[in-house]
Amino acid sequence: MAKLNPLIAAIGVAAGSMIVLGALPSTRWVLADQFRA
């Protein structure tokens, strides 16, 4: 079971990053505008 924990964590991080990059593009644009201003 100890060997599955790192795999699950990696999959979770990858899935989370894909969701953030795919479902929250508007948030990234808003943050970019704030940094520009």
- How far is the C-alpha of 5 from the C-alpha of 25, rounded, in Å? 30
pLDDT tens sequence across 8-37: 889 999 998 888 777 777 777 777 887 876
Distance CA 33, CA 20 (A): 18
Distances (CA, A) of 2 to 5, 9, 19, 31: 6, 12, 26, 38
C-alpha count within 13 angstroms, C-beta hemisphere, residue 34: 6
Q: Which is more confident, 36 or 6?
A: 6
Quote the pLDDT of residue 31: 77
User: What's the number of CA atoms in the CB half-sphere (13 Å) around residue 17?
Assistant: 6
pTM: 0.45
pLDDT at 1: 56
